[in-house]
Structure formats: C-alpha cells, structure tokens
Amino acid sequence: MKLNAEEQAMRDGDGKPGADARQMAMDLLVRYGEALDAERLVDTNNVAGTSGSSSIFIRDFYAKEGALTRDQLFSRFDLDSDQAADEIPNARTFTCHLQTRIDPAHGEMMGTPKDTLDFHLESQNHSASLGVQLLNTCTPYANGNVPVMGEHCAWMESSAVVYCNSVLGARTNTEGCESTASAMLTGKIPYWGFHLDENRFGRHQIDVDVEMDSVMDWGMLGYFTGDAVEEEIPVLTGIKNPASLIRHKHFGAAGASSGGVEMYHVVGQTPEAATIEQAFGPNKPAEIFRYGTEERRRTYETINANGHSDDMDYVMLGCPHYTIEQIWEASKLLAGKRIHDNCALWIFTARGVKDVSDKNGYTKIIEDAGGVIMTDTCSAMSAAVPKGTKVAATDSAKQTHYLPAITGVEAWFGSTEDCVNAAVTGKWKGEAP
C-alpha cells in the first residue's frame, strides 16, 4: 500500500523513541488495508466507534500480560498491538462513541454488577479524555453527527453504516473497534469498498407493489430485502411515499439483520438514485424480486416465528434508538394510561434525546404510565430484559431478530401502537397487515 509522507512519518513513529500509539495505529491500518488489497488510505474527519477494551474480561486478560493502565490496555486491545503504549494521544479527528452495553443510570434495573459498571465509567472517562464525543448511541446521524454527501467516514454499527451510505450518501465500510480506534488517532482509513464509486452501484432489484404507509411497513420491507439480497446492494422501485429518517432507520436496521445490507438505493429518493439508471450504473440487475401483499404476509410471519404466548412480560421500544419524534409519539399513546402490572416497558434512546424528552415532559408522561426511558444501550446489546421475562414485544424487526437468540425470550413484532397496547393490556393482539 502506498503511503504519503505524512502517513509514512506516522508509521515511522514521528522520530519519537519508545512505543508510540500513533505508530501502532498506522501499522494496524497498513496491515488491514493490505489484507483488503487497498492501494492507499483516505483522510477521514468522521469516526464512530466504541472502546473495545471497556470490559472487565478484557482488562483481566491483558493485566496478566502486564498491561495495567488504561492507555496500555487501549494499545494492546483497541490498537491490536503486541506492545503497550504508555500514552494514548488525543483524537486527531472528530470521533463519536456509539452505543455501549450499559446504561449507567439503570445499572441495577438491568442487572449490571457494580465492578462492571465502575470499570465501564472509567473507560468512558478515558474516551472523553481523548476527545471522543460520548453520544453513546447507534443513531449518531440523529444526534449531531451528520456527515455530508461523499464524506469519507469510519463507522461501526450496521444500522448506522447502512444509513450513512444510503440516506446521507456519505461513505463508510463496516468498521470495527480496532480500525475506528486507529482512524481516531491518525485521521485515516483504507480506501476500499464503499469509499470507491464503482462499489456503490445496485446489484439486485426489488419491485415494491404494496403501499408503504408506516414505520412497520418499512421494517418488514427491510427484513424481506436483507433476506433476498444478503450482502449485495438492492435497488428499490415502486415506492411512492417519500420515507422519513425514522422509516429509513427501521428499513436499514432490518436489512442489515436478516442480511448484511450496507447500502441500498430507493429510486427517486436516496441521493445516488435519482433514476434507476443512476442506481445501477454499469450493472444489470442480477435478480429481480417482487414484494407484494403475499411477500409482506410471509415476512410478517417469519419475523414473528418466535412469538407464541400472548401473555406479555416486556415491551421494548427504541431499536435503533428512538428519535425525539418517536418518544413524543409514545408519550401520546401512553398519556393517562397505566402499564399492566405483569408487564414492563423500557424505551431506549440516546442520552441527548432523553435530555430533550425530560425537558419537554415526555419522560414524565411515560414514567407516570409505568414505563422507563433508558440510554446508551438496548436489550440486545446489554443482554438485559426485566427479570423473569419470557415473552417480549417490540416495534423493531431488528430487535425481534436478535432478542430471542441473545436472551432466550419469545418475541413479537408489530406497530408501535400494537406494542403500547400490549404493554397496557398485558396481552399481545398484533395482527398481520
């Protein structure tokens, strides 16, 4: 891989003696880029990652090898280095923290052991001290990190990556803890995959032949699409209603769960698909799928295959993290009502959104009904559900996909109204559209 003078200087350790963290980061990017056949690196001023060395297991593992300080641990794990650096320099480029596994305000309710919480908080302080913005959400694009069209980014989190590429027209591959940590310290990422024009064209066509009227409709279409195209780029045709941020959020998250969709085009809506010709570029559709009422019904049944009992224990909203508009809607559905004694309602969002919700009075309405708003994490990320939960419901196809596998519960998928009704009555009554 060719390095320019600035990159080569970082790789040489800028002439500093001893173990240099930026040198370790550049070494990792070169190894990573060469494994991908990338010819060079590209500048990035937009990194979204998480600190991988924030778990007690990782701390104890590297402590046995002599990495005792936070900086030493970060260099061994997040920079994948054989050496331990005594000092991690500040972030060289704008970097935000994605979701974590812990909500510090609800550690006890989520069953987080005290030592785990303490080490997590230490790790968060470490990230902040390096200049990482603690957005702590899977929806950075709804919380102050909105890259522009064509901007080169280094993002983790599948639902954020697909939004970044498809809806914003910015460019990122699905990165990991190590590559985002290295990008943070160098402002570089391998120029490969979705950074290149030729890898952003459609491969399969999905002809949509149903009305797309709700967030639930977009979640189901996303789930169908991921299953159909797997890791290829779909081009969706026939959708008349323009989709909102929320609908794209649920579509992309679902497509990245049933399949590995990292980018999609909606003809006439997303920025690189003004026409079907632009969306496909030089490609011809390899396969054409139809999504009509029969496909929608089958998709609904597939997503709900893990739901059996109609006795509700837990309703989870906020996957991907709820926007302030969704919290407002939930508060309207819950106003003056009471969650059933046998059921819990947890709503997950970003800490910045929770702050607005508090100030607008939505949190109080939801809490008065018996619900809880949590931040930074979600049930799938933290593997936490209310004690004794056997049956859950959610308005997210992604969360319905993961929750049974991670926590062993049954899970129903439906509209937000279906979920709130289930929380209030204690019974699941959702139906296929």
Chain residues binding ligand F3S by CB under 6 A are 99, 138, 159, 253, 319-321, 348, 378, 380-381, 398-399
Residue 253 or 384 having the CB closest to ligand F3S: 253
Residue 192 or 348 having the CB closest to ligand F3S: 348
Q: Which helix (DSSP H) or strand (DSSP E) does residue 25 occupy?
A: helix 21-35
**Residue 379, SS3 per DSSP:** helix
Calculate the CA dihedral of residues 139, 141, 147, 149 and round it to 10 degrees. Answer: 110
Judge whether 235 and 264 are in contact, CB under 8 Å. Answer: yes
Kindly report the backbone phi and psi dihedral angles of residue 397, in degrees, each rounded to the nearest multiple of 5, phi listed first: -65, -35
Q: Report the DSSP beta bridge partners of residue 17.
A: none
Residue 93 or 349 having the CB closest to ligand F3S: 349
- If we measure between CA atoms, which residue out of 337, 329, 24, 335 comes closest to residue 185? 24
- Number of alpha helices (DSSP H) and beta strands (DSSP E) in the chain: 17, 14
Residue 33 or 107 having the CB closest to ligand F3S: 107
For the bound state, the minimum distance from the C-beta of residue 197 to ligand F3S, rounded and expressed in Å, comes to 28
Residue 44 or 379 having the CB closest to ligand F3S: 379
**Residue 386, SS3 per DSSP:** coil
- If we measure between CA atoms, which residue out of 185, 198, 214 comes closest to residue 89? 185
Residue 139 or 299 having the CB closest to ligand F3S: 139
- If we measure between CA atoms, which residue out of 273, 219, 208 comes closest to residue 246? 219
Position 11, amino acid: R
For the bound state, the minimum distance from the C-beta of residue 304 to ligand F3S, rounded and expressed in Å, comes to 18
CA distances from 227 to 53, 224, 231, 263 (A): 33, 5, 9, 14
CA distances from 141 to 54, 136, 144 (A): 24, 12, 6
For the bound state, the minimum distance from the C-beta of residue 215 to ligand F3S, rounded and expressed in Å, comes to 14
Kindly report the backbone phi and psi dihedral angles of residue 49, in degrees, each rounded to the nearest multiple of 5, phi listed first: -145, -170
Calculate the CA dihedral of residues 153, 141, 137, 416 and round it to 10 degrees. Answer: -140
For the bound state, the minimum distance from the C-beta of residue 376 to ligand F3S, rounded and expressed in Å, comes to 9
Residue 138 or 391 having the CB closest to ligand F3S: 138
For the bound state, the minimum distance from the C-beta of residue 257 to ligand F3S, rounded and expressed in Å, comes to 8
CA gap 22, 4 in Å, rounded: 15
Q: Report the DSSP beta bridge partners of residue 205.
A: 235, 288
CA gap 302, 306 in Å, rounded: 8
Pull the structure tokens for residue 265.
């085009």
Judge whether 329 and 246 are in contact, CB under 8 Å. Answer: no
Residue 147 or 320 having the CB closest to ligand F3S: 320
Residue 24 or 48 having the CB closest to ligand F3S: 48
For the bound state, the minimum distance from the C-beta of residue 320 to ligand F3S, rounded and expressed in Å, comes to 4
For the bound state, the minimum distance from the C-beta of residue 299 to ligand F3S, rounded and expressed in Å, comes to 19
For the bound state, the minimum distance from the C-beta of residue 280 to ligand F3S, rounded and expressed in Å, comes to 29
Residue 29 or 135 having the CB closest to ligand F3S: 135
For the bound state, the minimum distance from the C-beta of residue 430 to ligand F3S, rounded and expressed in Å, comes to 19
Contacts of 118 by beta carbon, 8 Å cutoff, 6+ apart? none
CA gap 49, 286 in Å, rounded: 34
For the bound state, the minimum distance from the C-beta of residue 157 to ligand F3S, rounded and expressed in Å, comes to 7
For the bound state, the minimum distance from the C-beta of residue 398 to ligand F3S, rounded and expressed in Å, comes to 5
Residue 143 or 237 having the CB closest to ligand F3S: 143
